[in-house]
Structure 1
Amino acid sequence: MRIGELSERTGTSRRLLRYYEEQGLFTSQRCANGYRVYDPQLVDRVLQIRGLLDTGLPTRIIKQILPCLDTPRAIVVSDATPQTIATLDRELDRMTQRIECLTRNRDAIAKYLDAVRANAQPNALAAS
């Protein structure tokens, strides 16, 4: 697929896709006319990259952990510096806190909806 289709399918601008490629987060092939051609499997990879960026991880760290998302896993730890490990520890803690917060919010919304639905059913029967 060409860059426009990858952009459309991922909701990521062409400029950002080029930037991700420059950062070594993925590669493309080049046609004879110089156009980039992307593997359709990159849709999932770009969405993973965007999700990791949304958590606050920089692209240099994302590049290091992307192999953990592949199957089979090809994890290389030789380039893990103490700073990288500390950054990932902080981000892991931050993500865990965010997940816990989201879980509490989801549960509260579910309880609210249950109460609203339980209250709405008798009112709906009375209206008919």
Structure 2
Amino acid sequence: MTSPTDSPGHRFPRAVFARGTEPDARFSLANERTFLAWTRTSLALIAGGVALEALGLDLQPQLRLAASLVLIIVGAVLPLASWIAWAYTERAMREARHLPHPPVGAALAVTLAVAGVLVLLAVLLR
């Protein structure tokens, strides 16, 4: 039995749920799991950035700080980007359109490459 608050006009965000038709629940749940995986990844990035700086490793201090900041900043922005990706994907499924390209993965790859190069330089220049 459904309640009046289960109708699409009462679900948040309305810009997503008020459009199209309800997709197969398995696809919506998979989309939600992807969002939650990106959220876990953001927590790992923040933890890695904090650990890199807090452990005080024998690395070049400015480069260590730069790598830490890159990880922490991207970890802080990633949940918002993954929420936007979730909304675009959910809306596309509801409107029976092709799924959008997920830009979050490319951003994560660039972030890890930059942080890795900074740590490598910090090791070489200590």
The structure having more radius of gyration, on CA atoms, is 1
- TM-score norm. by structure 2 comes to 0.29
Higher relative contact order (CA 8 A, sep 6+): 2
- TM-score norm. by structure 1 comes to 0.29
